[in-house]
Amino acid sequence: MKIEEKIIKRKNEINGVIIAHNYQLPEIQDIADFVGDSLELSRKAKETDADVIIFCGVKFMAETAKILSPEKIVLLPEIDAGCPMADMITADDVRELRKKYPDATIVAYVNTNADVKAEVDICCTSSNAVKVVNSVKTERVIFIPDRNLGSYVKRFTDKEMIIWDGFCPTHNHLITLEDIKTLKDEHPEALVIVHPECTPDVIDIADYVASTSGIIKLSKELNNKEFIIGTEEGIVHRLKKENPEKNFYPVRKAICYNMKKINLNSLFQAIEKLQYRIELEKWIIDRAYNAIEKMIKL
């Protein structure tokens, strides 16, 4: 029996659902029940009748799934698959910000750890960050943890924004203006779509700025046959799969090694042994859920 067959057999035995982020390895995306961005996946998993959620992503994503489905078992196949940006701010940091700026609303990108979400007022995604920031009642907003997404949001709001100095190493260091220009020289007819976690100069040269789900949507809706993609290169597998008649050119060095840690073997081990379980204290779940739910209600 092939390992893919073993995974599906065992998944069915435990009434599990496999969800995979758009940046995962192709073979992981192909075996998943759902592929998408982190919050989208957590919400889909919550809607299923599965008892076990196997999240192929990084730790903060699996935590979000647990926050939205506390009654379910949530597994992360590689327990050390973390997010450097999420680790750039702690719950203590947020509490200090609260003391320093008591009149501000604290908005957290979902790319944060669960204990950080528990300390903020409202969460946002890369696709709704502008809407969330503009929705708050205070004139001052603290935006954590991504300085690039915060800088992008600042273009579309009159709010006073205090932006935490965090970043995604993949988008900040591995996708440069020179990379995009080189690809544009090679493919002059291609439209440039980049993620708002990219640096401002990359965003300035782009035709479109979109979340991973937004990139998927635009690639289908736009009539162009060529696209330069400014985000983690794993998304290109799905783009090509869903748009076989189009060409996609990623920045080849834009790889998140944490996103590539999960493979078929570790996925099977996770399902076989029910490892590694995401466990969170109830007060963290309750408070973090509140921050996420406020965003969802928008």
Residue 168 annotated as part of some ligand binding site: yes
Residue 56 annotated as part of some ligand binding site: no
Q: Residue 124: give its domain's CATH number.
A: 3.40.50.10800
Residue 267 lies in a domain: yes
Q: What is the pLDDT of residue 38?
A: 83
Residue 212 annotated as part of some ligand binding site: yes
Q: How far is CA 70 from the centre of its chain?
A: 20
User: 162 and 181 share a domain?
Assistant: no
Q: What is the pLDDT of residue 228?
A: 98
Residue 83 annotated as part of some ligand binding site: yes
User: 175 and 158 share a domain?
Assistant: no
Question: Of the candidates 147, 167, 187, which is a domain's last residue?
Answer: 167
Encoded amino acid at 275, one letter: Q
Q: Render each residue's pLDDT in the chain as its tens digit; 298 residues.
A: 899 999 999 999 999 999 999 999 999 999 999 999 988 888 898 899 999 999 999 999 999 999 999 999 999 999 999 999 999 999 999 999 999 999 999 999 999 999 999 999 999 999 999 999 999 999 999 999 999 999 999 999 999 999 999 999 999 999 999 999 999 999 999 999 999 999 999 999 999 999 999 999 999 999 999 999 999 999 999 999 999 999 999 998 999 999 999 999 999 999 999 999 999 999 999 999 999 999 988 8
Residue 126 lies in a domain: yes
Residue 236 annotated as part of some ligand binding site: no
274: left (phi over 0), alpha (psi -120 to 50) or beta: left
Q: What is the pLDDT of residue 298?
A: 82
Q: pTM for this structure?
A: 0.94
Residue 256 annotated as part of some ligand binding site: yes
Q: What is the pLDDT of residue 43?
A: 87
Residue 126 annotated as part of some ligand binding site: yes
Residue 26 annotated as part of some ligand binding site: no
Residue 21 annotated as part of some ligand binding site: yes
Question: Of the candidates 138, 167, 196, which is a domain's last residue?
Answer: 167
* Domain range for 237: 171-250
Give me the number of domains the chain comprises. Answer: 3
Residue 38 annotated as part of some ligand binding site: yes
